[in-house]
């Protein structure tokens, strides 16, 4: 429940200013007070690059002429680093030469502002770059989201699974994956039409979202199939979570078709402390478990460890 004294979350964009001159920091802090941004500071190229990786700002203002590491070198690093590559960079420079501008744009800067600053111009250019930044963020997010369900899409799943697998190997912690499929989906489509099929897919997606934790990643794998990546989750814990989803789905009431029940089958494979399986066979194995669940009558879960040992739900009571 929202509380009156919940801390106010500042969602205004963070702008990282990288400049070796204390004056410039003071000047921009004072002159950008009225803009709805939060200004963060770094004083040389290296510090700027490290800080950008850490805080992932919406925009970077980057001076060229700095000690330790100059602006061009920092810009090069920012554009090579996957996490900072899409952050727009405005170059600030006291040398208003065509060559510096060309080099900046060629390295990937979105804009170039000469010092001393014309403040109204700087503010307008800043706002313009922030618009680009928010469009980039939107595009990036859209490219990861499945349109029908709002879950992550297959492309995101592939990338995220590879990351979570690496993390699991590195830290030898738990990781489980669940493959989920709607039972007899074809007959839903055939009997009630495609809109009903779509409603079933988005209904199950919503149900999954309602049950998973913040750290879990729910994806639409394709058609009527979903996957759940469950970081730091042993197969036993995954089994409990998935059983709640399975049983709730079974009991769910579908307003347009009150007599119809929709059930799901699931295949889970997981490990408690580091995998004994490569990442691709791991997914195939979970898929085989899903197949076994279907074979043994549907509306079921088959769960095992990456060693192959089957996991059962603890007996109630």
Q: How far is the CB of 121 from other proteins (least distance, A)?
A: 12
> Per residue, what are the HEC states of 75-88?
HHHHHHCCCCCCCC
Residue 184, both tokens? 């007899």
The token duo for 167 is 């993390």
Beta bridge partners of 177: 229, 269
- Binding residue (CB under 8 A) for other proteins from 68, 119, 135, 138: 119
Tell me the number of residues near other proteins by CB under 8 A.
15
Instruction: Tell me if 314 contacts other proteins by CB under 8 A.
Output: no
d(CA 286, CA 176): 9
Residue 82 touching other proteins (CB under 8 A): no
Residue whose CB is less far from other proteins, 32 or 75: 32
Binding part of the chain for other proteins, among 27-35, 185-193, 197-205, 267-275 by CB under 8 A, reads: 27-35
Q: Is 65 in the site for other proteins (CB under 8 A)?
A: yes
* 87 Ramachandran zone, left/alpha/beta (phi>0; psi -120 to 50): beta
Distance CA 308, CA 285 (A): 9
As a whole number of angstroms, the distance between CA 245 and CA 207 comes to: 7
* Interaction between residue 116 and other proteins (CB under 8 A): yes
Which one of residues 17, 24, 89, 126 is an interface residue with other proteins (CB under 8 A)? 24
Site mask for other proteins (CB under 8 A), range 4-23, x = bound: ----------------xx-x
Judged by CB under 8 A, the residue of 12, 26, 36, 148 near other proteins is 26
**CA-CA-CA-CA torsion sign (121, 122, 127, 128):** positive
**Residue 31 in the binding site for other proteins (CB under 8 A):** yes
Q: Taking CA 226 as the corner, what is the angle to CA 255 and CA 235, rounded to the nearest 5 degrees?
A: 115
Give the residues lining the site for other proteins (CB under 8 A): 20-21, 23-24, 26-27, 30-31, 33, 65, 94, 115-117, 119
């Amino acid at each position: 429940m929202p509380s009156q004294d919940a801390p106010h979350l500042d969602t205004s964009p963070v702008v990282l200013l990288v400049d070796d001159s204390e004056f410039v920091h003071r000047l921009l802090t004072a002159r950008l007070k009225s803009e709805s941004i939060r200004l963060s500071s770094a004083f040389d190229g290296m510090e700027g690059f490290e800080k950008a990786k850490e805080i992932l700002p919406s925009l970077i203002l980057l001076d060229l002429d700095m000690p330790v590491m100059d602006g061009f070198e920092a810009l090069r690093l920012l554009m090579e680093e996957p996490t900072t590559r899409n952050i727009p960079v405005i170059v600030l420079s006291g040398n208003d030469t065509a060559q510096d501008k060309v080099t900046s744009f060629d390295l990937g800067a979105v804009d170039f502002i000469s010092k001393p600053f014309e403040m109204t111009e700087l503010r307008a250019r800043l706002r313009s770059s922030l618009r680009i930044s928010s469009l980039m963020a939107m595009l990036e997010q859209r490219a990861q989201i499945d349109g029908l369900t709002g879950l992550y899409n297959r492309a995101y799943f592939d990338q995220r699974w590879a990351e979570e697998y690496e993390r699991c190997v590195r830290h030898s912690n738990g990781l489980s994956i669940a493959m989920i499929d709607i039972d007899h989906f074809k007959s839903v489509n055939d009997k009630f039409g495609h809109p009903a099929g779509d409603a079933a897919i988005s209904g199950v997606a919503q149900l999954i979202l309602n049950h998973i934790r913040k750290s879990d990643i729910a994806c639409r794998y394709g058609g009527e199939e979903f996957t759940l990546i469950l970081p730091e989750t042993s197969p036993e814990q995954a089994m409990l979570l998935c059983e709640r989803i399975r049983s709730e789905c079974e009991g769910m009431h579908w307003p347009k078709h009150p007599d119809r029940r929709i059930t799901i089958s699931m295949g889970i494979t997981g490990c408690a402390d580091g995998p004994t399986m490569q990442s691709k066979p791991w997914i195939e194995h979970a898929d085989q478990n899903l197949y076994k669940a279907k074979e043994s009558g549907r509306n079921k879960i088959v769960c095992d460890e990456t060693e192959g040992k089957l996991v059962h739900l603890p007996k109630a009571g």
